[in-house]
């Protein structure tokens, strides 16, 4: 799965988790840029991503994520 496919899948996941279709996923997007992206939503987002991509991420890996680009790189690493 290439980077563009990952972003397309993530766009659907973000739209579902945040109930917002207008989130523009970019490598630089972070929690500070999205309303309602709090710790509880972050957990829901990560769990949804793990299920969708059939991957598992360690707590340390998740804790090191700062922006969507980091998340995409982690997904690519795990696939």
- The answer to whether the predicted template modeling score (pTM) of the entire model surpasses 0.85 is yes
Q: What is the per-residue pLDDT across 54-63, written as a single tens digit (0 to 9) for each?
A: 999 999 999 9
Interacting residues of 55 by C-beta distance below 8 A, sequence separation 6+? 49, 75, 78, 79
Q: What is the DSSP letter of 67?
A: S
User: Position of tokens 């980091």?
Assistant: 70
Question: So what's the pLDDT on residue 52?
Answer: 97
**Two tokens, residue 73:** 């790189």
What CATH fold (topology level) applies to the domain 3-78? Answer: 1.10.1200
In the chain, where the domains are located: 3-78
User: Position of tokens 């360690």?
Assistant: 58
Q: Are 67 and 28 in contact (CB under 8 A)?
A: yes
């Amino acid at each position: 799965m290439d980077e563009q496919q990952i972003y397309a899948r993530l766009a659907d996941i973000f739209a579902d988790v945040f109930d917002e279709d207008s989130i523009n996923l970019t490598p630089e997007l972070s929690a500070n840029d999205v309303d309602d992206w709090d710790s509880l939503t972050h957990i829901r987002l990560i769990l949804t991503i793990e299920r969708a991509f059939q991957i598992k991420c360690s707590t340390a890996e998740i804790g090191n994520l700062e922006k969507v680009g980091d998340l995409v790189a982690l997904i690519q690493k795990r696939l």
